[in-house]
Chain A
Amino acid sequence: GQQVMQIPQYQHVQEGEDFTTYCNSSTTLSNIQWYKQRPGGHPVFLIQLVKSGEVKKQKRLTFQFGEAKKNSSLHITATQTTDVGTYFCAGGLGAGSYQLTFGKGTKLSVIP
């Protein structure tokens, strides 16, 4: 079945440092979504990428979708303590598929 691998599993950074999490799929994705889950909370949608090579930015967050639509990354510039949480990618196979496959997430800790 489709698998979405996400690395690293954990990341500890000093406040102000950058952070990147990577997502790789064994198959071509129709789209990829990114979610953030704060400690004790539920996943909250951040963004969706659909096009090959697409890059989107949200303030300090930069999201990329690979040319082959099999990988994606989330980069946070100059982390803040409010960035703490687990970041999940989720891939869709598109037409005819009714499931999103989630990566296992990257848990980000920010040391003040």
Chain B
Amino acid sequence: NAGVTQTPKFQVLKTGQSMTLQCAQDMNHEYMSWYRQDPGMGLRLIHYSVGAGITDQGEVPNGYNVSRSTTEDFPLRLLSAAPSQTSVYFCASSLGTSGGTDTQYFGPGTRLTVL
């Protein structure tokens, strides 16, 4: 199993550009989520999904969209990038047997810089 994969690993955007961060898992996990990590702020939940076709907002959803058309994939879209979205983005998945509160498996992260 590859586990949780994320692409790209690094990305530089200009303000106003849009892009999609890709996340995929091959563990048949129902629950998937996106976090951003900023220095001194820990991990903050952006959006999450409890299964295909179901998504919901986390703590910091503004400026981001998600969709979950399949169990495996959970892309994160930045509609109009802003410098405040410069961060490291982690995708995570879990079985989902306890909602989103069971063991999380994290991807390697995408380091995004918005100029």
Query: Which B residues have a C-beta under 8 Å from some C-beta of A?
Result: 31, 35, 40-45, 48, 50, 56, 58-59, 90, 98-109
* A94 engages B106 (CB within 8 Å): no
Query: Which residue from chain A places its CB closest to the CB of B101 in the assembled complex?
Result: A92
* A42 engages B106 (CB within 8 Å): yes
A45–B90 alpha-carbon span in the complex (Å):
14
Known: A42-B90, A48-B103, A103-B42. A98 touches B31 (CB 8 A): yes
Query: Which residue from chain A places its CB closest to the CB of B111 in the assembled complex?
Result: A40
Chain A interface residue count, CB cutoff 8 Å, equals 29
A41–B37 alpha-carbon span in the complex (Å):
12
Residues in B neighbouring A45, C-beta threshold 8 A: 103-105
A48–B107 alpha-carbon span in the complex (Å):
19
* B101 engages A94 (CB within 8 Å): yes
Q: Does any Cβ of B come within 8 Å of A33's Cβ?
A: yes
